A and B are shown apart, each in its own frame.
Chain A
């Protein structure tokens, strides 16, 4: 196989897999438990912006996901005799990730609604809960019941139980967002009158924010709707049974109370010093590690993606100049397709589709998706660069006996590269900003860390401001750096 054929094979796979029906996933034959024990790892999906169920805290100097659900998962992994791996994903991407086999089960304070039961199986309910209404503290006398909210602006999390419960309010003006923190921010900035939230979560927020007030909503609910359960792919009964055993044990020993208490401790204090005293720090010094990690990962993803994108883009550009019509058409189709679809969908597609076939970590899936995307744009940049080189250059090279390849490599391409240097720099800057999209599959880059900080600091706006500042410093200094090298590079 020649290089070009191999190359196209890869692109073809990417394209053809668009048309693969999800039916290729055969139902598990009951050996799910066996498989996990063979692998020695239980991978859970969660959405760690939901205290006290799951959130981030500093434990022994290290940041990690904690919370009641996480402790339950640890116990389950222990009982199965396997390691626990946690994948932190946006709440409305959790069930797709489960079905795409990116994770083995989902534990995220999830309510087993009849709609969800159509696509996944659930464990027994491990935690009975209630649903609250969150309002601004100053409004607590105005809104004190469901009835008082008729016709008001109500916020709910996307694809949540609360979204369904909102229909028990007359004529609500609904705002549906993925991130609870955004809903709370909307509430505090007067864009909403109330937010429907899970009870313990609402209480956690209200306890940490004097501007907020919460009360039990008194919604009418089925038995099922009043609790949280763990979600599994259909037909993985062996795994569900094993997990139910662990859950029974947790209930018999009353461990839930312990877990909640433990979570409450993590929530109350951001950090404890050696003498066990709470450390009171400013915002930045408390959370700079989150921003630092996010910034580093953002830079890493962007640099790697632009590098791979440059190789891919150059290859594609040459293929688009190929004499072979088939090669040309495939390359063109790839570029047009990628440029004609949103990167967000590309990222989710690569992550979820790859999960069907093999276990691709979210970071790798994110980098691949961003690289494939960037490659298409860089292809067009390279093409314009090649076009900008005077036709006489190739003629001169060929008249000296150089082959097409040699003249491309030694004469045309180096000049093209110099011409497109500013455009490539721009692409890098664009990717730094747009790579934030990989946060939807739980890659811990800057936007993702911002979300984490918002959920643990109970601060809506400040984390946004800090991350905006970081992005600006990154892109601005990069622009300056590129200008400097551009100046140094020109000798004609």
Chain B
């Protein structure tokens, strides 16, 4: 579904990603782990072109994203939902409006239909009673679930998560992870950057360990977590587990 060929990204002289090659299959759940500053977010943001790669190619569903015009990119981004560490909900809109604005303005879905869909998706993430609430009145966990619902409302083919639980109070992490697990079980293709190793072990089809702009090691969760091959992976896991 997504192919990454020789992806490189530099900010000025600082090379953050050096030659990444990956392929993500339809229905696959890929978890990306690695120390802070290793380039995980940058990698994720290159996938939907929020960051423009300095070199290399991203192919999404057969279309090369690098070199596309803005307009065509906007089209393709609709199919790649993204969830941010800081939620980034629209504070001037209610939960339901957050969920419906993109379908209405971008896809041209009629308002009543978008509201019907939006209400259903909010129910699905357990927020049926928060439809008319403004983000400021929601807890962190609730906000992040609205953010997931907002991305799902565009009916994406893949969901990208950038540390979705890192900004949450510990007692709220569970409710968000549960929504993500349900999503994985329903067959959604997912790329998840996270420090939740439990989630990785349980849900991931594949774990990627990144460090210093490279993919150091990858494999099924059991292999990575029980027999890491590289010293750097071992060091990292020793710290977080």
Cβ-based interface call for A35 (8 A): no
A411 at the interface (CB under 8 A from B): yes
Which of A404, A410, A418, A492 is within 8 Å of B135, CB to CB? A492
Q: In the complex, what distance in Å separates the CA atom of A418 from the CA atom of B135?
A: 16
Nearest chain-B residue to A414 (Cβ)? B92
Q: Are B154 and A398 in contact (CB under 8 A)?
A: no
Q: Which residues A389-431 have CB closer than 8 A to chain B? A: 390, 392-393, 395-404, 406, 410-411, 414-415, 418
Known: A390-B88, A411-B90. A399 touches B136 (CB 8 A): no
Cβ-defined partner of B77 (8 Å) among A392, A398, A410 = A398
A490 and chain B: residue at smallest CB distance = B136
Residues from chain B with Cβ under 8 Å of A403 in the complex? 70-71, 74
8 Å CB interface, B37-55 against A: 48, 50
Assembled-state Cα–Cα distance A414/B107 (Å)? 21
CB-based contact B92/A418 at 8 Å: yes
Stretch of B98-106, B116-124, B225-233 at the chain-chain interface? B98-106
Given A402-B106, A415-B91, A492-B136, residue A395 in contact with residue B78 (CB < 8 A) = no
Q: Counting CB contacts under 8 A, is A491 at the interface?
A: yes
Instruction: Determine whether the beta carbon of A400 is less than 8 Å from that of B92.
Output: no
Contacting pair B50 A395 (CB below 8 A) = yes
A402 and B105 form a contact (CB under 8 A): yes
Supposing A392-B84, A395-B88, A492-B91 touch, asked if A400 and B102 sit within 8 A by C-beta, the answer is yes
Complex formed: what's the CA distance from A400 to B77 in Å?
A: 6
Q: Could you say which residues of chain B place their CB within 8 Å of the CB of A398?
A: 50, 74, 77
Cα A392 to Cα B84 with chains together (Å)? 8
Q: Evaluate whether A393 and B90 lie within 8 angstroms (CB atoms) in the complex, with A400-B77, A492-B134 already known.
A: yes
* Cβ of B158 to closest chain A Cβ, rounded Å: 12
* B136 and A401 contacting across the interface, CB-CB below 8 Å: no
Query: Are A401 and B78 in contact, CB atoms less than 8 angstroms apart?
Result: yes
B128 CB, nearest partner CB in chain A, Å: 21
Residues from chain B with Cβ under 8 Å of A406 in the complex: 105-106
Q: How far is the CB of A203 from chain B (nearest CB, A)?
A: 67
What separation, in Å, do the CA atoms of A492 and B151 have in the docked complex?
22
**When the two chains form their complex, are residues A392 and B91 in contact, meaning their CB atoms are under 8 A apart?**
no
Q: Please name all residues of chain A whose beta carbon is closer than 8 Å to the beta carbon of B221 when the two chains form the complex.
A: none
Across-interface contacts of B135 in A (CB, < 8 A): 492
Q: Which residue of A lies closest to B82 (CB)?
A: A399
Closest residue on chain A to residue B136 by CB atoms: A492
Say whether B134 contacts A491, CB under 8 Å: yes
Q: Mark B121-152, 1 if CB is under 8 A from A, else 0.
A: 00000000000001110000000000100110
Interface size bracket, B side: 20 to 34
Least distance between B47 CB and chain A CB atoms (Å): 11
Give Cα distance in the complex from A415 to B136, angstroms. 14
Q: Which of A400, A402, A410, A418 contacts B151 (CB 8 A)?
A: A400
Q: Are B88 and A404 in contact (CB under 8 A)?
A: no
User: Closest Cβ of chain A: how far from B68's Cβ, in Å?
Assistant: 13
* Residues of B with C-beta under 8 A to A397: 90, 102
Asked if B101 and A410 make an inter-chain contact with CB atoms under 8 angstroms apart, the answer reads yes
Question: What's the nearest-Cβ distance from chain A to residue B131, in Å?
Answer: 15
Tell yes or no: B86 within 8 A of A by CB. yes
Most B CB within 10 A of own CB, among A390, A398, A399, A415: A399
How far is it, in angstroms, between the C-alpha of A393 and the C-alpha of B75 when the chains are bound? Answer: 19
Residues of A within 8 A of B77 (CB): 398-401
B213 CB-CB contact with A under 8 Å: no
Complex Cα gap A395–B44 (Å): 13
A392 in contact with B86 (CB, 8 Å): yes
CB-CB < 8 A to A401: which residues of B?
A: 74-75, 77-78, 102, 106-107, 154
How far, in Å, is B109 (CB) from chain A's closest CB? 12
Chain A stretch 117-166: residues in CB contact (< 8 A) with chain B:
none
**B60-71, CB under 8 A of A: which get 1 and which 0?**
000000000011
A410 & B84 in contact (Cβ 8 Å cutoff) = no
| A85 to B77 CA separation, bound complex (whole angstroms) | 64
Indicate whether A402 sits within 8 Å of B102 (C-beta atoms), given known contacts A491-B136, A492-B135, A492-B136: yes
Complex interface bits, A366-407 against B, C-beta within 8 A gives 1, otherwise 0: 000000000000000000000000101101111111111010
A400 adjacent to B154 (CB under 8 Å): yes
**A-B contacts, 28 listed (Cβ < 8 Å):** A390-B88, A392-B86, A395-B88, A396-B88, A396-B89, A396-B147, A398-B50, A398-B74, A398-B77, A399-B77, A399-B81, A400-B77, A400-B78, A400-B101, A400-B102, A400-B106, A400-B154, A401-B78, A401-B107, A402-B74, A402-B102, A403-B70, A403-B74, A404-B70, A406-B105, A414-B92, A415-B91, A491-B136
